[in-house]
């Protein structure tokens, strides 16, 4: 079964024929909301809104541990996270869809691991490949079948939020090799890896990152939301094909 974590611009999955919702309790507190079960093209899918169904949870307060724990408790095969990002690399214009293959973590103070209790031994996970290669491959194949252009690969820089970055901070990110910047990529990816979930991200470029396009360009949030609304139609098309391919 496929799980989809929706981010900004995707508080619901319009192509999902909802059957029921399930409230899941976890050892790590409450998830962002109930799990929503339904079918896409007659295949069962579970959906979770990362920021809550009213978009009330900021990035730094998302209970990532509870979210991933709740999803793995219902016997999933793969998790696809949809996330909005700011484009740093020149070809990442608003409306671009990217499937990143690497991540750099700039967040702090978040609950990063399931292995932090005194009753648990220290556990190290190999995070060389933060995203599942098989799920990334499936996303690329689905995009091809759907006729939707996506960019293969890129470095996601996860920042703390909820404020956007300064132009100087984006310059630093670029020097570090970051191609796109968002606020929810970590610790979500690492926690999925700890749980053995096949996790990958569909990143939607909502706007140019601070200082890009023009040094005087200010980020217009209304424009970014408009871009997300239009691009999510393409994202849903890709997701429908992922479900179809998984069923084959």
- At 53, which CATH number? 3.40.50.1580
Q: Which residues are annotated as a binding site?
A: 8, 50-51, 183-184, 207-209
The strand pairing partners of 18, in sequence order, are 38
197-229 confidence digits (pLDDT tens): 999 999 999 999 998 875 445 666 667 778 888
Which residue, among 74, 66, 60, has the nearest Cα to 27 in the 3D structure?
Answer: 66
The residue assigned the tokens 């909820």 is 162
Structure tokens at 195: 């749980």
Using only C-alpha atoms, what is the Rg of the chain?
17
Question: pLDDT grade, residue 127 (50/70/90)?
Answer: very high
Q: Which residues are annotated as a binding site for phosphate?
A: 8, 50-51, 184
Q: Given a cut of 90, is residue 233 above it in pLDDT? A: no
Higher pLDDT, 74 or 11: 74
State the total domains in the chain: 1
DSSP-derived letter for residue 59 is G
pLDDT at residue number 217: 59
Average pLDDT, the chain: 90
Q: Which residues are annotated as a binding site for substrate?
A: 183, 207-209
Tell me what the mean pLDDT of segment 231-247 comes to. 87
Say if residues 1 and 45 touch (Cβ distance below 8 Å). Answer: yes
88-119 confidence digits (pLDDT tens): 999 999 999 999 999 999 999 999 999 887 77
pLDDT at residue number 12: 61
- Domain residue limits at 126: 2-247
Percent of the chain surpassing pLDDT 70: 93
């Amino acid at each position: 079964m496929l799980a989809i974590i929706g981010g900004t611009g995707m508080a619901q999955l319009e192509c999902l024929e909802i059957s029921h919702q399930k409230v899941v309790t976890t050892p790590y507190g409450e998830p962002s909301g109930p799990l929503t079960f339904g079918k896409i093209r007659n295949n069962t899918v579970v959906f979770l809104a990362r920021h809550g169904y009213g978009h009330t949870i900021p990035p730094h307060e998302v209970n990532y541990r509870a979210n991933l724990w709740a999803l793995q408790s219902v016997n999933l095969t793969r998790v696809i996270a949809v996330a909005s990002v700011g484009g740093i690399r020149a070809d990442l214009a608003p409306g671009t869809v990217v499937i990143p293959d690497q991540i750099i973590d700039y967040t702090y103070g978040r609950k990063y691991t399931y292995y932090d209790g005194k009753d648990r031994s220290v556990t190290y996970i190999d995070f060389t490949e933060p995203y599942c290669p098989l799920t990334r491959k499936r996303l690329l194949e689905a995009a091809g079948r759907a006729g939707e252009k996506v960019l293969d690969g890129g470095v996601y820089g996860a920042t703390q939020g909820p404020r956007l970055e300064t132009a100087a901070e984006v310059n630093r990110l670029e020097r570090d090799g970051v191609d796109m910047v968002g606020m929810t990529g970590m610790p979500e990816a690492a926690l999925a890896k700890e749980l053995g979930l096949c996790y990958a991200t569909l990143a939607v470029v909502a706007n140019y990152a601070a200082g890009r396009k023009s040094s005087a360009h200010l980020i217009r949030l209304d424009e970014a939301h408009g871009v997300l609304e239009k691009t999510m139609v393409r994202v849903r098309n890709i997701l429908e094909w992922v479900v179809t391919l998984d069923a084959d």
